[in-house]
């Protein structure tokens, strides 16, 4: 039995094939030309300090016998600023839950992590400070925040597309993969990846499209589909990324009452 793979969800308003057709994009087949464009995007990455990333995802399950369809939706947004402060907010319709995470600088405590969600601390809102609870702070960054930040790093670098693919692969599935590159103008790149399972009896397919404009990542779409004897299951994800001039992040009021206290 296959399980839902955890990946950030997102929103993008254009079908990439429509975008390619309307903009007159041409496929890049010259490896030197592609390497030059990728390098320019990687170099631009260092300039990205303030940004918003929004995401949505939809899971559709169709019962083969009854044709009944069940749809659930998830949403997420991530904000980051040049000081390394961030907020991540996620809703899970599938389990009627939300998660809210903050990391901010503070004159008294150096840095603070605010977490509100049923995945941590038995669902109790908790604030961890760096100055007096460094171990707990570092553990939370490594085990919770880093997974989201690593996704952003991968999306901003076109050379790391393969790492995004691995996030949804299972250990037992082998794919036949076809990757193509398109560009419609200077600084624009679309990467399209189509995957079909090479395992007999497995109808899993994956379709990715990564888009870069003016040498900066601006969106991704992803569809993951497979069936079992009972159901047809499809996951549809999209991500929208915007560079901002400034992003201000502040903790919710009353955060002081949720500080971790020593025993």
Nearest alpha-carbon partner for 41 in 210, 228, 246: 210
Strands 175-183, 26-27: pairing is: antiparallel
User: Residue 92 has what pLDDT?
Assistant: 79
Q: How many residues does the structure list for the chain?
A: 263
Predicted confidence (pLDDT) at residue 255 exceeds the cutoff of 60: yes
C-beta atoms surrounding 166 within 10 Å: 9
Average the pLDDT over 65-87 and give the result.
Answer: 95
Model pTM score = 0.85
Predicted confidence (pLDDT) at residue 3 exceeds the cutoff of 60: no
SS3 126: strand
Q: Express each pLDDT in 161-196 by its tens digit.
A: 887 777 767 666 789 999 999 999 999 999 999 999
Query: Helix, strand, coil shares of the chain as percentages rounded to 5?
Result: 25, 40, 35
Predicted confidence (pLDDT) at residue 233 exceeds the cutoff of 60: yes
User: Residue 188 has what pLDDT?
Assistant: 97
pLDDT category, 23, cuts 50, 70, 90? low
User: Residue 15 has what pLDDT?
Assistant: 39
User: Residue 96 has what pLDDT?
Assistant: 63
User: Residue 261 has what pLDDT?
Assistant: 84
pLDDT category, 16, cuts 50, 70, 90? very low
User: Residue 13 has what pLDDT?
Assistant: 37
Give start and end residues of each alpha helix (H) in 46-109: none
User: Residue 5 has what pLDDT?
Assistant: 43
pLDDT category, 22, cuts 50, 70, 90? very low
Nearest alpha-carbon partner for 60 in 229, 238, 225, 206: 225
Q: Express each pLDDT in 79-111 by its tens digit.
A: 999 999 999 999 877 666 688 999 999 999 999
Phi, psi of 161 (to 5 degrees): -55, -40
User: Residue 95 has what pLDDT?
Assistant: 64
Predicted confidence (pLDDT) at residue 14 exceeds the cutoff of 80: no
Interacting residues of 148 by C-beta distance below 8 A, sequence separation 6+: 8, 78, 88
Average the pLDDT over 201-225 and give the result.
Answer: 95
C-beta atoms surrounding 243 within 10 Å: 15
C-beta atoms surrounding 225 within 10 Å: 15
User: Residue 177 has what pLDDT?
Assistant: 92
User: Residue 164 has what pLDDT?
Assistant: 76
What's the order of all strands across the beta sheet hosting 69-80? 26-27, 175-183, 189-197, 205-213, 216-227, 231-243, 51-63, 69-80, 86-92, 97-106, 110-116, 126-129
Residue environment code for 54-93, b if the CB has 16+ CB neighbours within 10 A, otherwise e: bbbbbbeebeeeeeeeeeeebbbbbbbbeeebbbbbbbbe
Nearest alpha-carbon partner for 3 in 174, 193, 171: 171
Q: Express each pLDDT in 114-157 by its tens digit.
A: 999 888 888 899 999 999 999 999 999 998 888 888 889 999 99
User: Residue 190 has what pLDDT?
Assistant: 97
Q: What is the DSSP letter of 142?
A: I
């Amino acid at each position: 039995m296959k399980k839902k793979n955890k990946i950030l969800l997102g929103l993008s308003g254009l079908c990439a094939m429509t975008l390619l057709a309307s903009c007159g994009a041409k496929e890049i087949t010259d490896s030197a030309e592609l390497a030059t464009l990728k390098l320019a995007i990687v170099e631009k990455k260092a300039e990205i300090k303030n940004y918003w990333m929004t995401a949505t995802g939809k899971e559709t399950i169709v019962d083969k016998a009854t044709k009944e369809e069940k749809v659930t939706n998830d949403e997420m947004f991530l904000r980051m600023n040049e000081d390394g402060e961030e907020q991540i907010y996620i809703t899970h319709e599938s389990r009627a839950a939300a998660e809210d995470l903050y990391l901010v600088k503070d004159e008294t405590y150096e840095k603070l992590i605010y977490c509100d969600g049923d995945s941590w601390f038995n669902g109790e809102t908790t604030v961890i400070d760096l100055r007096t609870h460094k171990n707990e702070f570092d553990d939370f960054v490594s085990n919770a925040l880093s997974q989201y930040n690593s996704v952003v790093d991968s999306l901003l670098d076109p050379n790391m597309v393969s790492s995004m693919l691995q996030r949804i692969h299972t250990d037992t599935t082998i794919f036949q993969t076809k990757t193509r590159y398109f560009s419609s103008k200077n600084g624009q790149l679309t990467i399209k990846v189509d995957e079909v399972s090479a395992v007999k009896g497995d109808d899993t397919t994956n379709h990715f499209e990564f888009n870069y404009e003016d040498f900066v990542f601006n969106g991704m779409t992803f569809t993951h589909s497979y069936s079992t004897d009972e159901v047809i299951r499809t996951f549809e994800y999209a991500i929208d990324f915007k560079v901002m001039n400034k992003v201000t992040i502040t903790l919710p009021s009353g955060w002081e009452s949720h500080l971790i206290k020593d025993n």
